[in-house]
Amino acid sequence: MNYRDLFDLSGKHALVVGAGSGIGRAVAAGLADFGAHVICADVHAETAEAAATEVKGRGGEARAATVDITQEAQVRDLIGGLGALDILVSTPSINVRKPLLEVSTEEFQRVIDLNLKGSFLVMREAGRRMAGQGKGSLVIFSSIRSQVVEPGQGVYAATKAGTLQMIRALAAELGPKGVRANAVAPGVVETPLTAQIKNQPTWYQAYAEKGALGRWAQPSEMVGAVVYLASDAASFVTGSLLLVDGGWTAVDGRFTPPL
């Protein structure tokens, strides 16, 4: 065996939901660089098209698709209409940073609908498709907030913990059918979702200093984890949470004692 071939995705068909920006955009390009044919799906048609164009500009194979993952029929139609599906990656999330006592019912529902319900619909439809064909890899983005939380992150953290537990259940249920299901937990990544923090220097720097590496991640730094989980290199990996957090969850507190 040539172990380099373990990461080769040639001939694989990957659906990246949330490919229009941030982590999803980088992941779509990364999977294509390893040989996959990528369907770049996003809620906004223009950003999905831009992602597909970028992938093709790098020499990869791609096409665009539009989907709102909070809408069951749209998710079913997209996944059911694919000619082939070997890899599913889903990244979309929103956040409302408020103390729990100040979160409105509407805000709560909006976060739940996308982060939890949307992830569920994508997992279910892709899982059904992969179970029927006896193979496939599901990679869903959770977060370090599935493990640790801070003020203002209660609803978001609940959705990310819920997403992780659904992935673990799916791994148990679909393992006998040849399907793997895993989650990725980023730390702080410079994406549109975190623009609110980046615009406040003190907050931004505090987060940078929390991790062991002392900085934020770029979306491109999530690509390796996804390629690994999607590929045969992770053929015995399922039900896992892969932390890509720069040591955030390993480091205890922001204070460096005078040792």
The per-residue pLDDT string of the chain (259 residues; one tens digit each, 9 = 90 and over) reads 899 999 999 999 999 999 999 999 999 999 999 999 999 999 999 999 999 999 999 999 999 999 999 999 999 999 999 999 999 999 999 999 999 999 999 999 999 999 999 999 999 999 999 999 999 999 999 999 999 998 999 999 999 999 999 999 999 999 999 999 999 999 999 988 788 888 888 999 989 999 999 999 999 999 999 999 999 999 999 999 999 999 999 987 665 656 5
Helix (H, G, I), strand (E, B), or coil: what is residue 136? strand
- Please give the Cα distance from 122 to 128 (Å, whole number): 10
Instruction: Determine the Cα–Cα distance for residues 200 and 194; give it in Å rounded to an integer.
Output: 11
Marked catalytic residue, from 156, 204, 207, 228:
156
156 is catalytic: yes
Q: Domain 6-190+218-243 falls in which CATH fold?
A: Rossmann fold (3.40.50)
The domains of the chain are located at 6-190+218-243
Work out the number of other CB atoms within 10 angstroms of the CB of residue 205: 13
Which pair of structure tokens corresponds to residue 258?
A: 């005078």
197 contacts: CB under 8 Å, gap ≥ 6: 188, 203, 204, 207
pTM: predicted TM-score of the whole model, two decimal places? 0.95
pLDDT at 193: 75
CA distance 16 to 18: 6
